[in-house]
Amino acid sequence: MTVATWPVAELHVHIEGTLETELLVALARRNNVELPSYDPDALRELYRFTDLQSFLDIYYANLAVLRTEADFYDLGMAYLTRASAAGVRRAEIFFDPQTHLANGIPLDVVFGGLSRALGDARVTLGISADLILCFLRHLGGAAALATLDAAIPYLDQFIGVGLDSAEVGFPPSLFTEVFARAEALGLHRVAHAGEEGGPDYVHEALDLLGVERVDHGIRALEDPRLVEILRERQIPLTVCPLSNVCLRATPSLGAHPLPAMLAAGLLVTISSDDPAYFGGYVDDNLTALQGEFGLDHEQMATLARNSFRAAFLPEAEKRRHLAAVDEHLEALLRLTSGA
């Protein structure tokens, strides 16, 4: 970790999207799963996306290599090790149980491997991490309800629910019942909205699903009334700039709405989404933004503070993390002033 590595919370990362091609090949060999190539670089070359669906097609296909509890453990541990080096002190990690169930993998295997990795990382890396169970919106509301029911025996192993996969055509309104049930179970609620879908999807996520955070939300800027609601309520938006560029949600990093979102007073946090596919982890996203927009130390500290403010953590723990951000900022300012 370098002096440029800010302490942060990563609030928008899909564990399946952290499957680096080296581990993909190792797991394919371990489990006798066929891949288009066994050369990690050649596989990475295939990652040229035109939109969200073109990414999801490859991403779901690759997940056929995850078969055993050890596979899920290795995936979780690899991410947490890399995240720790990226300055991540707290990770709230999405996972897609429906993908694995469709591949014939029982929930017990998925939770077993991931939860063991989170527990070990807490001890060996000092990183705090929890799981958020995501529903695949393209499978609809009834399948989401069945998934939540099936996950009830594992309620002590996840802290919330989310909504991901293909956005357009699958609005939040399809998932009101499952989110109401999740709320009744005492779970946190987040949803992808305003990534490819319009501001109406963000309104629905807030009004119909009662989400506490919006994942992406970049298209919210198209609706000034929505911006006012998000600003007023300080609803966190977990923004993933390198993902947005790779999936062409924004034409370039320079055209990314992050500066406008910050200027509008929105509570924006920076995350990596699917770092194995989009060219970088949270530190890479922060570094890219800093380079593109010339963010100063104070602005970087705001992004780091926002990540802890938006985390699902007790206030005392947030204060401890916020103090670490302040310390980091002071150290950087001392360094640049030559004191």
In eight-state DSSP terms, residue 196 is S
Give CA separation, 26 vs 46, 113, 315, in Å: 18, 17, 41
**For residues 70-109, which are near ligand ADE according to CB under 6 A?**
none
Q: Is 273 in the site for ligand ADE (CB under 6 A)?
A: yes
Distance, CA of 244 to CA of 51 (rounded, Å): 9
Phi-psi domain of 87 (left: phi exceeds 0; alpha: psi -120 through 50; beta: other) = left
Of residues 71 and 274, the one with the C-beta less far from ligand ADE: 274
Using CB under 6 A, pick the residue from 20, 74, 130, 164 that binds ligand ADE: 164
**For residues 1-20, which are near ligand ADE according to CB under 6 A?**
14, 17
Helices (H), the chain: 21-31, 40-45, 52-62, 69-85, 97-102, 107-124, 140-151, 176-184, 199-207, 224-233, 241-246, 258-263, 275-278, 282-293, 297-309, 315-337
Smallest separation (angstroms) from ligand ADE to the CB of 73: 21
Q: Is 69 in the site for ligand ADE (CB under 6 A)?
A: no
Smallest separation (angstroms) from Zn ion to the CB of 94: 7
In eight-state DSSP terms, residue 112 is H
Smallest separation (angstroms) from Zn ion to the CB of 68: 25
Q: Which amino acid is at 322?
A: L
User: Which residues, including other chains, have CB under 8 Å from residue 244's CB and lie 6 or more apart?
Assistant: 195, 216, 218, 250, 256
Smallest separation (angstroms) from Zn ion to the CB of 47: 16
**For residues 296-335, which are near ligand ADE according to CB under 6 A?**
none
Of residues 247 and 286, the one with the C-beta less far from ligand ADE: 247
Using CB under 6 A, pick the residue from 128, 147, 243, 272 that binds ligand ADE: 243
The residues assigned a catalytic role are 195
Q: Choose from ligand ADE, Zn ion, none: what does 195 bind? Cβ within 5-8 Å by kind.
A: ligand ADE
Give CA separation, 10 vs 75, 248, 251, 281, 319, in Å: 17, 22, 24, 10, 17
Number of residues that bind ligand ADE (CB under 6 A): 10
Q: Is 274 in the site for ligand ADE (CB under 6 A)?
A: yes
Using CB under 5 A, pick the residue from 273, 276, 278, 286 that binds Zn ion: 273
Q: Is 213 in the site for ligand ADE (CB under 6 A)?
A: no
Q: Look at residues 282, 287, 191, 204 and name the one whose alpha carbon lies nearest to residue 240.
A: 282
Smallest separation (angstroms) from ligand ADE to the CB of 244: 9
Of residues 134 and 235, the one with the C-beta less far from ligand ADE: 134
Residues that bind ligand ADE (CB under 6 A): 14, 17, 52, 164-165, 192, 195, 243, 273-274
